[in-house]
Every structure is written in C-alpha cells, then in structure tokens.
Amino acid sequence: MTDRPVIAESPPQQAAPLWHAEDPQTTFTALASSPQGLATSEATERLQRYGRNELAAARRRHPLLRFLAQFHNVLIYFLLTAAVVAWFLGHGVDAAVILAVVLINAVVGFVQEGKAEQALEAIRGMIAPKATVLRDGIRTSVATGELVPGDVVLLEAGDQVPADLRLFRSRALLIEEAMLTGESVASEKTETPVAPEAVLGDRTSMAYSGTLVAAGQGAGVVSATGTATEIGRISRLVAGAQSLTTPLLRQINRFGRRFTLITILVGALLFAFATAVQGYAWDEALLVIVALAVGVIPEGLPAVITITLAIGVQRMAARHAIIRRLPAVETLGSTSIICSDKTGTLTRNEMTVRRIVVPGHVITAEGVGYTPVGTLRVDGLETAELPQAARELLRCAILCNDAHIVHEHGHSWVEGDPMEGALVAIAQKAGMDTDTLRRHWQRHDEIPFDARHRFMASLHRAPDGRHVVFIKGAPEQMLAMSSGDDEPIDADRWHKAIGTAAAEGERVLGFAFKTAEGALPLAMDDVASGLTFLGIAGFIDPPRAEAIEAVRQCRSAGIGIKMITGDHAATARAIAAQLELADSPTVMTGSELEEVGDADLPSVAMATTVFARTNPEHKLRIVRALQADNAIVAMTGDGVNDAPALKQADVGIAMGRKGTEVAKQSSEMVLVDDNFATIVAAVSEGRTVFDNIRKVIAWTMPTNGGEAIIIIAAVLFGFTIPMTPAQILWVNMILTVTLGLVLAFEPAEPDVMQRQPRHADAPLLSAFIVWRIVFVSGLFVAGAFGVFVWATSRGLDLDTARTMVVNTLVVMEIFYLFNVRYMHTTSISWRGALGTPVVLLAIATVVIAQLLFTYAPFMHLLFASRPVPLGDGVVIVLIGIALLAICEGEKIVLRRTGLMERLEDG
C-alpha cells in the first residue's frame, strides 16, 4: 500500500497511510487542510465533489411484496376460505363482496405501512446528529451529513464520531469501538502514529465513524466520509428496515389466532347442529357458517390499531417528541414517575451570571440570556468600572472557557456550554474584548472538565511571557485546592457566600489561578494544590413558564416528578420550590444516598423530591429503586453519564438539542426542544393512543359479536337468518373504513390527565371493556331481532325486513360511536354531540352509502336490498337514540357506584 492523498476526483476509499503519519502537518498536507479547518466555500465544493457523509439507505421491500404481505394474517385466510366456499355454493355475489372487503383491508394496510415508513425516515432525519467543526477558524456545528474530507472535527465525551478521523490532538481520549472491533473496553487514543500494518483495533491515532467517545477530548481531521468509512464497508451487513411490530400488535395478532380457532370450533358445532337437528341441507348450513365467519371476524382491527399507533407517533412528533422505538407509545401512557434533570428541561437553559463575589466586593448583574446587555452594580451601586479583583476573575472565566457567543440578526446563542457562554456574556457586559483577550493569552494545554474531579484547567502564555494556569469548577473543590497568599483563606466566609447564592436558586462556580513552571503538558498534580482563589460566580437559570404548568398537570394526573441534578442541594431546593414539584420538596444529596441500603432505597426514593449532587451510579440506583416499587419510570438525560439510567428506565428520554449521541441511542424518545412540558404532552398523547385503541375495540367487537349471536340464535331456534353474508360484509366494510377509522383520530378526553396512571401490565381488554362488549352486543341483538320480527309480523317481504335490519345495525353503530368517544365521561354535551370534523365526515359518508344501499337499484341487485318506507326509517333512527340513552345511563350508573373504576382496575 502506497502513500497517496485522500483528496481525489472520486470519494476516498480508505486513508490507511494517515494512521502512521509522522506529524500533524503531514496529515493536513495529505488532506489539503489546516488546523483551522476548511474555508466554508471549500467545504461546499468538496461536498458537491464527494457527496454527503451518509451510508446507503436500507433496502426496502418491493411494493408488490409489501402489498401481498397484507394478506398474511390468519383472519384474512379464514375470510378467503369463506369466499371460496360461497363461490362453490353458487353465491358469487357473496364471494365477491368478501373478496372486496379483504382487498380494501389490504389497501388500507399497504397505504398505512408506506406512511409509517415515511414517518420513520422523517424521524431519523429530525434526530440526525450534529458535529462540532472548525470552519474558517471558527467553532461551529454542522449536520454530520455535511462533513467532507479535510474538515477539522472536535470531540468530547458523549459524542458519536461523525466520520473517520486522523487525530492530531488528544487529551485522555477514550473511544468505544465495540461495533467495529468487538472489544468491550474503550480504546485509548493518542495522536502518536502507529505502524502501517496495524490492524484496525490497534490504530490508536484514528477515530472511526459511528463509534462513541467515552471520555476526554480530542480533535481530528476527516479522512473518509460516507461509504468510504470503515463502517461504510460493513454497512451492508447491518442494512435492514426497522420492524414496526409492537407488543400491542403482537397481542392483537395472538388474539386473532385464538379468535379464529374458537370461530372454527363454534362453526363446526353449529354446522353439525344445523344439519343434524334443524334439518338444514349441507350447502345451506355451509352458507350459514360463511355468514358467521364474516360476521364475527374483526378483519379491519389490526389495520385500524396500526393507524392509531402511527397517528399517535405523528402527533407526538408535531409536539416535538420524537419516538425512536414505537413500543414507547404504549409505555408512555402508563408512566407514573418522571425523573428529570433540571437545566434546560425544567429551566430555560439560558444561564445568566447574577452575582460575582470577590474579596471585599459583591457584583450583581441584570439582564438575561447571552445578549451582553444589563446593568452591573458593585456593592449595590451602579458602576461602569469593576474592581480589579472582579476583572481578574472574569479574565480567568474567559480563558478557562471553550464557549463562543454568536450574535446575529438580533439574537444571541452559545456554541458550547451554557454556563461558559454566560461568563462570556457578563465579561462583555463589563466591556471586556473577549476575542482579543484570548488571542493575547494563547492556550497551550488544558484538563477538560470531568464529573470525577469537578473542575476544568487551562494553561496559557501571558503577553509578558509568563505561563499561568486558570481553573474553574465546583467552589468547594476550588477552596480545597487553594491556599492564601498573605493570609489564610476565610473558608467560613466563602461557604456562607456560596450558601447564600445557592439558597436563591443560583448555581455557583469557583475560580482560581496558579503560576506555572513553563509550557509543559498540564497534569492533575500541577493543579492539585497551591492555587490562588479568586472568588465565585452565581448563575441563575429560571424555570420555564410552561414547565410550571406541566408540573401542575403531572400532579393532577398522579404522576410523580423527581428532579435529579448535579447542582448544590440549596440550588435544587429553590428551583423545586419555584416549580412546585411538591407541597414541601424534600432533598437528598448523592453522599446521603450512598448511605441508604438497597432494601430501604425504594421507599426513600418515593418520598424524596430532589436528588442533588448526583453521579451516574446514583441515577441508576434511583431508577431501579423506583421500579422496584412498581413505578413506571420515564428518565431524561443528555450526557454520556446518563446512558445507564436511560437504558434502565421504562422510557428513556434524550435531549434533542444538548443531548449526546450516546444519550439518544440509549433512549426511546428524543425531545426536539429539550422542554419538560413536551414530556408531559407526550404522556398525554400516550394515554390518548391507548384510550383510542380501546375505543376501537369497544366499538368494533359489539357489532361483530351482535352479528354472530344473531346467526347462532337463528340456527338454534330455527329462525330465518335476518341478514345474508353479503349484507353482513357490507356492514363491516362500510363501518370499518369510516367510523372505525375515525376513532384513531380522536382527541384526548377532557380528563385524560386527571386519572391515575394505568398499570403497565394492565390487559388491553379490561373487565370494563369485556362487560361493555357483552352488554352492547346484547343490545344490538335485541334491536336487530326486534326490527326483523316487527317487519315480518307486518307482512313485509324478507328482503325488505333484512334491509331494515342492516339499517338498524348501521344506525345503532353511529349512535354508539358517540357514546364510545368518551369512555369515562358523559357524551351528552355540545362537544360530544358535534364531534370532530373527521367524525362528521365519516357519518356523512356512511349515511350516503346507506341511502345507496337502500334505494339504488344496482345495490338491490348486489345485496338483495329493498327501499324502506320513511316511517320505518324514523323508527330505526329512534332505536339508535334509545341505544345511546341506554349506554349513557349504564355509564352513569357504573361511574356513580364506583363499579367502572373497579372494573377498570380488575
């Protein structure tokens, strides 16, 4: 293998020579780049030349195969068998209608599956990862798909490596490469070249696309993108479409198989009874079985439930909650506890420095966000000039800082950490030129912030040639590492100042510095002691207004909220009080949590509102403890340290803006706007989805049950069957594709966020739903038989009587739809009567179809229907009204006696 530059007229296939390049300049020369990154114009040109940094899309099934797969269902097989039987018995119309219903069901499923695939593709695009790069020498974020060979990429713990990189800078950099090498231990990375023949697992100077940064920081230059990366070479092995089957749909499919077996058994017994006891001819008995099959089988139920789930996912996406794994839709509805971090989720994540405390002075600042506008006051007096001690602290805050504030079109935002951005903002409020300061004090090395040592340090060369280390971090840690210059540090005074700031909801950072020996690599021992303490800064991150309302909704819905934060206990308590997380928020620190045994932790976790000063192990223990108490836990997180708890939670929720790729990959849901209110909206949608699925079942099954009982009763008692198989299928077809489908679009019931969470293992068919199916089926049978007997007793012909029965069933279904739209509250209201536009459109469609069925001559030929007199039509409508009144009365009785709640729980 010979050395060659990666930049070529075709996309690079591999950058093998780069891992043993002797020095960074060799790497940049080979890639026609520089440590300042590419110019934006050059990056644009290369993007056109090499294409986007993306892998080939997964191969999809051919549309024809996807359409044929819609028939692979035991319910459909049974109906097709019934069609064949009807055909051989000479009932071609019945057979044609059965096939038409099966075909319509397949078309609905085919169209919906295509929409679901499109929705998933759109979701994948919405959560596409970002990469931090240098363009034109400025740190910025770009979509990973826009990376090109020669781009300089900056890596931090929790990032997903966006392309194959040759590292030229590394600080304690560890990368998880198990997806490529199979090694469970993270690989330690350096910029040191390795042998040309090194195997992939030994190429420590390379970072490969798709791997995850476990710890540390680094920088590298892109050597390969897209299909030219290592993961691109093996992408065909992992290509495949995401399965859309959820546990709920699997439950429905199992129900379908069992239901079919029972139907076959009942049909066989009924056939035997009809021929042996009632004297039916075998072909007439078979036709009865066909009628039973088409009446009892809910052939459209799986498709409607799939549509309901997909609509729920789309509604959540519209409310900025992206579902990565569809089963989360079901779990969200039963969430009983939400564990949330504070910053950016419950609060605005627009950090603002409110106070600076230095020896002898307290400086307070006004203004919010990152716009450098606001009055500064020293010891309560407005001033344009800060004390020297404050300016020294701000110098430390700017130099030991990686953030950059962008001011464009009247808006300001931070590229980097929000707290670091707030420090830049207050320095600019004080009139300091932060860019010039950073140029004059060149950085030579740094120790990145890490939760284990709780500080960041950077080594700089001063304009006069001295070397100085600036440190910022947890104030207690800074005090422990500092010593006084001329007099001992007054630790009590500083701890009191820290407590005062924290009690007012401020997050506090401490600042210190130390003169260094020279420009040697910076090590932990260099800053472990002997620092000069400069002071503290207090930051405020106010609660989101919408989060306060969302918390209120959660408490009304019986959902507990646990704030888990790394903040000081007093800070966390102040924010919890402002959010009203509990009447009297209780706080436990991580160190206190460690003293609690596993056996006692579930009760302690349930009783505690805020967990402060926590680490990843604490978060994982809290989630497990809550689950041990049978809670269904949703857990938010954004960092690599949150991944274990996100995986453990029943619903892991990652932040879309500030979340790392590790957090997103460990989660079932991604919040596009990082807003706690969005979680509550998603829970509401999850409850609504489950409600709507139950409504579909509660509405569909009584029709099918009523039709089946009518046929069975007619055979058992020797009556004429009130409906032909074709007429039964007409009812099922016209209702399933209209009224059955609109229930999937139902909005949330008024009390959806006022009920207690349902149990995760609660059956789909609760005792209440089973009772409702039996009760309403009986009403349908009574109505249909009553009309049939009434019509025949008046001397009306059989076809007219059957037409009246069909219309009676359809009208009863229309009125029952209004009852089932509100399962827990009354439907007799203006909102219940008017319905939604989708409901009204569906009803109008059904009415027009029924008028055609009853009065159109061609429908008379197809279905043996006949015109119904106007007076009889009025009676049929009154029967529907009576059904609605009876069902509403039953609902009132069950609710007032408490039976509804007991049946739901049972």
Catalytic positions: 341
Residues 6+ apart with CB under 8 A from 687: 332, 333, 748, 752, 753, 755
- Strand-pairing partners, residue 355, are 364, 538
Q: Would you state the structure tokens that stand for residue 707, as one six-digit string?
A: 């039709």
Taking alpha carbons only, the member of 313, 347, 685 closest to residue 548 is: 347
State whether the Cα torsion 619-624-628-634 is positive or negative: positive
**What are the residue ranges of helices labelled H in 743-836?**
767-793, 798-820, 830-834
CB atoms within 10 A of CB 380: 8
- Neighbour-count burial of 534, counting CB atoms closer than 10 A to its CB (0-12 exposed, 13-18 middle, 19+ buried): buried
Q: What does the alpha-carbon distance between residue 2 and residue 16 come to, in Å, rounded to a whole number?
A: 9
Amino acid (1-letter code) at residue 674: D
Helix axes 74-88 and 92-126, enclosed angle (nearest 10): 160
CA distance to 170, 267, 420, 524, per residue, from 442 (Å): 18, 87, 18, 20
- Neighbour-count burial of 71, counting CB atoms closer than 10 A to its CB (0-12 exposed, 13-18 middle, 19+ buried): middle
Q: What angle do CA 578, 624, 564 make, to 5 degrees?
A: 20
- Contact call for residues 711 and 280 (beta carbons, < 8 A): no
Q: What does the alpha-carbon distance between residue 274 and residue 271 come to, in Å, rounded to a whole number?
A: 5
- Contact call for residues 298 and 704 (beta carbons, < 8 A): yes
SS3 content of the chain, % helix, strand, coil (to 5): 50, 15, 30
Amino acid (1-letter code) at residue 162: P
Taking alpha carbons only, the member of 887, 678, 675 closest to residue 776 is: 887
